[in-house]
Structures are given as structure tokens and as C-alpha cells.
Structure 1
Amino acid sequence: MTTAFISDIHGNFEALKAVMAEIDRLGVTDICCAGDVVGYYSQVNECCDLLRERAIACVMGNHDWYMAGGGFCTRSRSVNDCLAYQRKVISADNLAWLKTLPVQLQAGEVRIVHGGWGDPIDEYLKPSAEYFDQVEGKAFVSGHTHVQRLEIYGDKSYCNPGSVGQPRDGDPRAAFALYADGRFTLHRVPYDMQPVFDLMEAAGFNDYYYGGLKTGSRVLRRLHD
């Protein structure tokens, strides 16, 4: 069986629709999400609705955690600006759903977290053979860094499927991964970003908040910058 892995959607429904269309075209029906359905962009309800309607298993990401728990990010004022807006628009049903997300999942032989196995929600994982020597299992997926990556360590494999909604690896196309017959493959999909820009402007956000989508780079400012 083939499983698709998506991550870091961040309220970017245009990117999510493109990824889901490609996954459907490939005939894959088993889909898992490595977290961060919300955060950054404006269509948080549409993204939550789609995952719920398709019964896509999802772990909790740090942005999901902020939203579900009413907290904020200590690293970024811009993240908090976006969260403040999203708290005003997210539906009660979707907020309740976010609160039910587990911090880790198992999909066949693949172990899934958002961050890492030291901190499932907020670890910025630096994969290495030594790291995974300490983690039980054969195949691993995490998100959080928004950088698509595939590493093989002997009989173990690690994949970051990259970000659907906000790639940070210099490739602006939406990212996902597939796992079949013990092997990960990485995939990218182009999409029309203009509706994202228009909706963000309508919500009161300027190019500073979404400009990085155009190049696949990180542009949001941290509090200490």
C-alpha cells in the first residue's frame, strides 16, 4: 500500500488543493499529515474542513498547539499576528478538532511526529544516523522545518515531506512525499498563489506576511531580529 505524507499546510488552501489533486491523480487514498494545519495564512477553516472530511490522520504541530491551547509563539511576532486573526475566524468545530490531535502517530511501519522524537511538537530535528540509533523503528516522518528531505541510514529511513503551504527550501512549489514498499519518494506541485495573496490582503496583511511564498524562502521576522 502507498501512503502520502503532507505537512505544514498553514492555512494555505490553494496549495493544499493542488497537493490533494496530485495525490488523487496518483491513486493514493491513504494520507497522513505531520501537523501545522493552521498558522500563517487565512483559510484555516477550509484546510481543517478538508482534512476532517477526508478523515486524514494528523498529528499536532506547534501552530496547532498554539491555536488549541490559546498560547502564542515566543519566537515570532508575525506568527502571533497571524494567530490573532485566525482565532477570530476559526470555527468552534475546527478548534475542537485541533484539540483532539495526538502528538504522534504510527502509519504501518512509519512513525510520525511534527517536530522530533525528543520534542514531538517543537523540536527542529537535525537528522543523523546517531540520532536515529536512539529511536526505535524503521521509517520516520516529521515536518516543522518546511525543508523537504530524505535520508537513509542503513535499514532506517527518515523523510521530511516538506511544507504544503510555506516551503522554505528555495522551491516555492507545494511539497509532499509518498511511502511504498519500504521507500520514500519526494514530490512537488505548482499552484496559483494569487488567491492566497488576495485573501491575506483582504484580511489586513501585506506582502511582508506572504511574500516568501513567491520564492520558497522564509521572510517572517523574529522577535529578537
Structure 2
Amino acid sequence: MPHAVISCLHANLAAVEAVLADIDRLGIDTITCLGDLVGYGPQPNEVVELVRERGIPSCQGCWDEDIIEGLNACECSYPSQLAERRGHLAHHWTAAQLTDENKDFLASLPTSLRRDRSLFVHGSPNSQHEYLLPDMDAFAALERVETAGADTLFCGHTHRPYVRDLSNGSIRVRVRGPQGSSQPQQERQMQLPMRRIINAGSVGEPRHGSTRATYVVHDAESGAVDIRDVPYDVERTCQAILEAGLPPIFAWRLSHGFEYAERADDASHVCER
């Protein structure tokens, strides 16, 4: 039975509505959300309420946590001081807009969801803030999935969808005898089963070079994964960003489909809030 996995909605109502319409058109009843319902976008209450109305099981994303726990909850790194100031502005604006009821909902979200041998998280099993990038060290990636006790790990956070199969993994262990013993050193090799990481990309703020919202459809029986690209009214969201008084660069990068930050102004800057 196929199910849909969505992530990083970022208060973009037009994109969320378009993706949910696509899921409904496919006749899929089971949806899982990987968090970041809010942040950057102009319609935080509307998006949270739509997820609540649809009864979509959701993880807590880093932005969701940040709004509830405060700025010190964030372990992220901004590429520049200007980018960090924009993040602060978006945080305070979102926190002021959200109703107490919707804040309580975000606070109630778990950091992970599990279905059979599949685990659903925002960033990684370790933290909502950790990025599982597609080119990270294969052993480190395998360790994230294996220690979580999962065959398939669903994540978001990067805003870039991908499927990564981790196969032919092995661990070689050398075991020495007790100190002073003449017992020879033994070597053991263990083959690890295939594991998979599926990144759902982003519904509300795609950064993979396309303005289309992304999500994935997964069939647990066949293992098939379909990365869906869904067009939506980008201009509607961009206009709402400007009318809300949020940084205009949020609209610009949404209309181009990738991240933008002034990396050259302070290349060594790391957010330490």
C-alpha cells in the first residue's frame, strides 16, 4: 500500500494545498509529515491548522522546536550574519503570529515516528538539526539507520530530495587476546544488510533548483519510491511574504528554487545562539 511522505512545509499554504491535492488525486490515504510546519513562510496558522484538520501524523522539525523552546534550541549554522538576522526576524514574526492552540500542537509533536521497520524523522535520529546530506560518509549514514533499528529512514531538513541505498556494507573487527597471552590476534568481518535513506525534500521551500514542491510516495511492499514534483502558485506565496513584511529575499529564493545567503560577507561565521 503506497503512502506519501511530506516535509518542510514552512508556512507555504499554496504549496501544501497543491501537494495534498496531488496526493488525493493519486488515491493515497496514508500521509506522514516530517516536520517544519512553520518558518520562513507567511501562513503559519493556516498550514498548522490544515495538517491538524487532515489528521496527518507529524514529527517535530527544527523550526517547530525553535518556536516552542526559543532561539537557544537551535543548533544550526547560518552561513552569514545577515542570514542569521533574517532567521531571527522570521522566528519572532512566526512566534507572534501563531495562536496558543497551534503552538501547543507543535509542542506535542514527537521527534520521530515509527511504522514497522521504517523510521520517520526531521533531520536524523540524533537531532532535528542534523543534516543527512546525500554525499555524507557511507559508514556514518549507515550508522544513523542501523542504530535507529530501521531498514528505511525517512528524513527531510535538507530541502533536497534523494534516495540513497546503503548496500555491501561491512565491518572488520580485530580482536586481540589477553595481555601477555600467546593467543593470536583474530579478525572478524560482518556483512551488514542493505539499508535505505529517503529524503522527502521540501513542500514549502524547495532548494533543489526547481520551484516545484517535492514529496515522496513509497510502496513498502515493492520498495518503489516516486519523488513527486508538484507545481503550485509560487507568486501567491511570494506576494504574501512581501505583504507580511518578511525579508524580500525569502520571496526571491522561493521563486528561484534554491537557497541564497551572502556567504562572502563573513565566511567563517557560525551561529552560536
**TM-score, normalized by the shorter chain, greater than 0.5:** yes
Residue 183 (structure 1) shift: 2.7
Number of matched pairs? 224
Indicate if the aligned counterparts of 1:78 and 1:220 stay in contact, CA closer than 8 A: no
Q: Which residue of 1 aligns with 2:205?
A: 166
The change in CA–CA distance for 1:147 and 1:54 in structure 2 (over 3 A counts) is: same
Q: Select 2:131's aligned residue among 121, 124, 139.
A: 124
Within 5 Å, which residues of 2 pair with 1:26-37? 26-37=26-37
Residue 128 (structure 1) shift: 5.1
Range moving further from structure 2, 194-203 or 54-63: 194-203
> TM-score, normalised to structure 2's length?
0.77
Matched, 1:138 2:151: yes
Residue 206 (structure 1) shift: 4.5
Residue 146 (structure 1) shift: 0.5
Inter-partner Cα distance in structure 2 for 1:95 and 1:60? 12
Amino acid at match of 2:258: S
Amino acid at match of 1:46: E
Indicate if the aligned counterparts of 1:208 and 1:220 stay in contact, CA closer than 8 A: no
Q: Which residue of 2 aligns with 1:150?
A: 163
Matched, 1:69 2:69: yes
Indicate if the aligned counterparts of 1:209 and 1:220 stay in contact, CA closer than 8 A: no
Matched, 1:217 2:224: no
The structure that has the greater radius of gyration is: 2
Inter-partner Cα distance in structure 2 for 1:133 and 1:208? 36
Range moving further from structure 2, 19-28 or 175-184: 175-184
Q: Which residue of 1 aligns with 2:245?
A: 204
Matched, 1:179 2:218: yes
Indicate if the aligned counterparts of 1:31 and 1:57 stay in contact, CA closer than 8 A: yes
The change in CA–CA distance for 1:128 and 1:185 in structure 2 (over 3 A counts) is: farther
Indicate if the aligned counterparts of 1:78 and 1:209 stay in contact, CA closer than 8 A: no
Q: Select 2:117's aligned residue among 106, 109, 112.
A: 109
Q: Which runs of 5+ in 2 are unaligned?
A: 79-83, 168-193, 268-273
Amino acid at match of 1:56: I
Residue 62 (structure 1) shift: 0.7
SS in 1 for 2:91: helix
Indicate if the aligned counterparts of 1:150 and 1:160 stay in contact, CA closer than 8 A: yes
Q: Which residue of 1 aligns with 2:58?
A: 58
Q: Which runs of 5+ in 1 are unaligned?
A: none
> TM-score, normalised to structure 1's length?
0.93
The change in CA–CA distance for 1:221 and 1:13 in structure 2 (over 3 A counts) is: farther
Matched, 1:81 2:120: no
Indicate if the aligned counterparts of 2:122 and 2:157 stay in contact, CA closer than 8 A: yes
Inter-partner Cα distance in structure 2 for 1:116 and 1:36? 14
Residue 220 (structure 1) shift: 4.5
Inter-partner Cα distance in structure 2 for 1:144 and 1:138? 20
Range moving further from structure 2, 50-59 or 106-115: 106-115
Inter-partner Cα distance in structure 2 for 1:5 and 1:202? 30
Residue 221 (structure 1) shift: 5.2
